[in-house]
Amino acid sequence: MCDIMNNNISKIIGEKISKLRKEKRISLSKLAELAKISKSTLSSIESGNANPTISTLWAIADALNVSFGELLPKEFNEVDEFGITIKLIEQSEGKPKIEVYLMKLKPNSVREAKPHKKGVIEKVLVIKGKMVVGSKSSPKCLKVGEEIEFCGDVPHIYKALDEEVSAIVVVIYPPMEIVKIKSLF
C-alpha cells in the first residue's frame, strides 16, 4: 500500500475516481471488471477507506481512459510504495497527453508494471545509478545519461540494481480517437 497516503489524500483520490466513473456513466461493477479489481476494493477506494497501490491506481486510470496523473490531487503528486517513489512533475493538457515523472528506486527494488492502454509510449532517462528497464520480454540495462523508449502497452519493468536509482519517466498517451480508429483494423 502507499505508505505516505493519509486518510485525507485517500478520500480525495476516491472522490476523483467516483466522479470520473459517474461522468463516464460506468457502473461500480463495470469499472471493477475493467480494472481487474474486486468491486469491494473499488468501493473502499471510492469511499476513501483504502490506500490503493500504484498498480491499482494505474489499472483504474486505464479502465477510465484517463492518465495516472489525473487521479492524483494537485497538492499531492507523489506516491511511495515498496521502495519506489513516483512524483508527477509535469502534465500536458494537449493531445497527445504527456506526463513527466521523477521515479526513485531504492537498491534492488523492482516495479513490474502491467500494460497500459494501447498506444502508450514510455521514455526513460536514467539520471542516477544503474537500472534494468523496458518491456519484460526485452529489458535493457541503463546507466546515467542513457535512455530507452518502449511501448507501454505491454508488461514492463523498472529494476534498480545494487544502488539507488533516479530516472525521468515520460508517459505519452495517444489521443483516444486514434486508439479507437486503429483498433478497428
> What is the spatial distance between Cα 54 and Cα 48, in angstroms, rounded to a whole number?
15
User: What pLDDT digit, counting tens, does each position of 80-120 carry?
Assistant: 778 898 888 888 877 888 999 999 999 999 999 989 889 99
> What is the spatial distance between Cα 172 and Cα 33, in angstroms, rounded to a whole number?
25
1 inside domain: no
> What is the spatial distance between Cα 151 and Cα 179, in angstroms, rounded to a whole number?
14
Query: Can you read off the three cell numbers belonging to residue 76?
Result: 499531492
User: What pLDDT digit, counting tens, does each position of 8-48 carry?
Assistant: 788 889 999 999 999 999 999 999 999 999 999 999 999 98
Please give the single-letter amino acid code of residue 34: L
Has this prediction a pTM greater than 0.75?
no
2 inside domain: no
Whether 52 and 89 map to the same domain: the answer is no
Whether 142 and 171 map to the same domain: the answer is yes
Whether 14 and 90 map to the same domain: the answer is no
Whether 172 and 115 map to the same domain: the answer is yes
Whether 98 and 176 map to the same domain: the answer is yes
> What is the spatial distance between Cα 175 and Cα 181, in angstroms, rounded to a whole number?
10
User: What pLDDT digit, counting tens, does each position of 120-177 carry?
Assistant: 999 999 999 999 999 999 999 999 999 999 999 999 999 999 999 999 999 999 886 4
164 inside domain: yes
pLDDT score recorded for residue 185 = 38
Whether 27 and 89 map to the same domain: the answer is no
Whether 142 and 121 map to the same domain: the answer is yes
Q: Across the chain, where does the E strand assignment appear?
A: 78-81, 84-91, 97-105, 110-113, 121-128, 130-135, 140-143, 147-151, 156-160, 165-173
Please give the single-letter amino acid code of residue 174: P
Q: In sequence order, which ranges of 65-174 are alpha helices (DSSP H)?
A: none
77 inside domain: no
CATH number of the domain residue 58 falls in: 1.10.260.40
Residue 183 has pLDDT above 60, yes or no: no
